[in-house]
Amino acid sequence: MSQRKIPAVGIDLGTTYSAVAVLDDKDCPQTLLNAESERTTPSVLLFDGQNVVVGKLAESSKNTHFEGIVEYTKRDLGKRSYHKHIEGVEYPPEALLAFILNKLKKDSVAQIGDFTKAVITVPAYFDEVRRKATQDAGYLAGIEVLDIINEPTAAAIAYGYEKSNDQADGETVLVYDLGGGTFDVSIVRIESGQYRALATDGDVKLGGVDWDERLVTYFAEQYMSTYNLDPRDDPNSLGQLWRIAKHAKHTLSDEDVCTVELESPLQALSITITQEEFASLTADLLERTRFTASQTVKAAGLSWNDIDHVLLVGGSTRMPSVSTMLREESGAEPKRSISPDEAVAHGAALHAGRLLDKQRGRKTKFTVQNVNSHTLGVVGVDPSTKRPRTARIIPRNTGLPITAKREFKIRPDQQSIKIEIVEGESRSPDACQLIGACMIRGIPADLPAQSAVEVFFKYREDGRLQVKVRVKGTDIILDSEFLRENTMTQEQLDAWRDYITG
């Protein structure tokens, strides 16, 4: 394939499957095949001694080496001080994801030649901490992250491209993205080459794996009621159960019934399940997505009638229950014109092309505007109760980039102020995610009464935050990166980068 001089690469780093796309010389996105000649790569790692195997081989070792398997790592990103212990080494989630990115990059380089720049996608509902962690994972894999882009926005760009921009012009689309581990809904307005998100919502812990888990439990219970033995007690049987569950789920997307053979631990058992039974085992999960989708329509100030198309993205939208539910909800047939597994990577490659063009001073073909998916604020004090309260600075679903400011009074005796930055919808800061803090020291004692400190938040287009603090009436100003919670130091990042990229 002939392509641009500096390849425009987009990486969909999925919870269960990842994909890479590049723009060809006609600026058309093409999915790259991995070393196994497949269009998607399982986001699965197998630790075998000092060896780390990524992808299909790891995935197919679940029946035999389940204890060495690491998967669904994307769900662990941003967890406070979380590390996975494997054979005496503590791996932060960023490093585990970097092993996947490293394989994706290596396989892609084999096809398109060396490159360092790429766009990586994230769920729209990812918070600031998870976005930063994704960028760090890219760094650890030796990738210069051009930008991180929201997965539903990327899918909308791919949709607009496929329809050729003018045909999709003036459309409002609802992107329903149900992947392996996360769920996102975004409402995107496509107009005059601009992709503008109106509202977004989701759940970073809801995806195909939760449907799989219901089947794992169901099959294990069937086995127990027959043999009085829990197959989940044996790691390899558990690995087998997960594989069987996924197979059954996929079969039930095309057939009304499915029979699986569970071979372990002692005796085999054959279990039959119908599509209807599966739907009832998982009805509450689907309901959560329905509720979130309808809330997002409201948050955009719209009704279902205003939605021109519902776009299905993510492998889990192949479950027939999803389109049935959305048809009933929206009154129209949801669309699957774009490949649900590749649309996100394609949109990311188109976005990469746009950014590279911009860097070279070229005219770009489209623009993107996102909204923030979580409210940002600082920990304040409720004047009446004196209890901590979230002081909101940027409410969710605000168009990005945005700069906002809020003032806080300084007590007469106050010499220092700690500003704690939080993200979340709750009025109580404890229920929000603490992103980091910054400290203002040396406040002069002779400040006039009622003096104030100004806190400026700049939330960038990519969903990353910058904070500036100023004490009014003084030259005290804090304009650096704030101190983050739970993040790696530059030395740690570099050490991991050397280790992972070899």
Ligand X SMILES: Nc1ncnc2c1ncn2[C@@H]1O[C@H](COP(=O)(O)OP(=O)(O)OP(=O)(O)O)[C@@H](O)[C@H]1O
* Residue numbers at the binding site for ligand X (CB under 6 A): 14-17, 43, 74, 179-182, 207-209, 246, 249-250, 253, 314-316, 318-319, 341
CA distances from 161 to 11, 51, 220, 251, 345 (A): 17, 41, 45, 32, 13
- Nearest distance in Å: CB 57, ligand X: 18
Q: How far apart are CA 485 and CA 328, in angstroms?
A: 44
- Nearest distance in Å: CB 201, ligand X: 15
Q: How far apart are CA 120 and CA 186, in angstroms?
A: 18
- DSSP-derived 3-state class of residue 266: coil
Q: Residue 119 or 356: which CB sits closer to ligand X?
A: 119
Q: What residue 195 binds from ligand X, Mg ion, none (CB within 5 to 8 A, per partner kind)? A: none
- Nearest distance in Å: CB 246, ligand X: 5
Q: Residue 130 or 396: which CB sits closer to ligand X?
A: 130
Helix (H) or strand (E) holding 473: none
The residues, any chain, with a CB within 8 Å of residue 477's CB and separated by 6 or more, are 468, 469, 470, 471
Q: Residue 181 or 239: which CB sits closer to ligand X?
A: 181
Q: Which among 180, 204, 476, 149 has a CA at the least distance from the CA of 313?
A: 180
Number of residues counted as binding Mg ion (CB under 5 A): 2
Q: Residue 179 or 334: which CB sits closer to Mg ion?
A: 179
Q: Give, as ranges, the residues between 14 and 33 that touch Mg ion (CB under 5 A).
A: 14
Q: How far apart are CA 452 and CA 113, in angstroms?
A: 55
- Are 121 and 148 a contacting pair, CB within 8 Å? yes
Q: Residue 179 or 239: which CB sits closer to Mg ion?
A: 179
Q: How far apart are CA 287 and CA 280, in angstroms?
A: 11
- Nearest distance in Å: CB 206, ligand X: 9
Q: Residue 136 or 184: which CB sits closer to ligand X?
A: 184
Q: How far apart are CA 485 and CA 475, in angstroms?
A: 27
Query: Which residue has 């085992």 as its token pair?
Result: 281
- Nearest distance in Å: CB 180, Mg ion: 7
Q: How far apart are CA 368 and CA 206, in angstroms?
A: 26
112 φψ region: left (φ > 0), alpha (ψ -120 to 50), beta (else)? alpha
Q: Which of 10-18, 20-28, 84-92, 270-278 is the region at the interface with Mg ion (rule: CB under 5 A)?
A: 10-18
Q: How far apart are CA 29 and CA 131, in angstroms?
A: 24
Q: What residue 463 binds from Mg ion, ligand X, none (CB within 5 to 8 A, per partner kind)? A: none
Q: Residue 204 or 443: which CB sits closer to ligand X?
A: 204
**Tokens at residue 343, please?**
């649309």
- Nearest distance in Å: CB 396, ligand X: 20
Should residue 207 be labelled a site residue for Mg ion when binding is judged by CB under 5 A? no
User: Which residues share a beta bridge with 494?
Assistant: none
**Cis omega (within 30 of 0) on the bond before 29?**
no
Which x/- pattern over 159-188 shows residues binding Mg ion (rule: CB under 5 A)?
A: --------------------x---------
Q: Residue 99 or 126: which CB sits closer to Mg ion?
A: 126
- Nearest distance in Å: CB 341, ligand X: 5
Q: Which residue is nearest to ligand X (CB)?
A: 208
- Nearest distance in Å: CB 77, ligand X: 10
- Nearest distance in Å: CB 58, ligand X: 14
Q: What is the CA radius of gyration of the chain?
A: 24
Q: Residue 59 or 147: which CB sits closer to ligand X?
A: 59
Q: What residue 341 binds from Mg ion, ligand X, none (CB within 5 to 8 A, per partner kind)? A: ligand X
Q: What residue 390 binds from ligand X, Mg ion, none (CB within 5 to 8 A, per partner kind)? A: none
Q: Residue 163 or 250: which CB sits closer to ligand X?
A: 250
Q: What residue 250 binds from ligand X, Mg ion, none (CB within 5 to 8 A, per partner kind)? A: ligand X
Q: How far apart are CA 472 and CA 415, in angstroms?
A: 14
Q: Which of 9-17, 365-373, 421-429, 494-502 is the region at the interface with Mg ion (rule: CB under 5 A)?
A: 9-17
The residues, any chain, with a CB within 8 Å of residue 280's CB and separated by 6 or more, are none
- Report CA 280 to chain centroid distance, whole Å: 28
- Nearest distance in Å: CB 314, ligand X: 4
End-to-end CA distance of the chain: 28
Residues that bind Mg ion (CB under 5 A): 14, 179
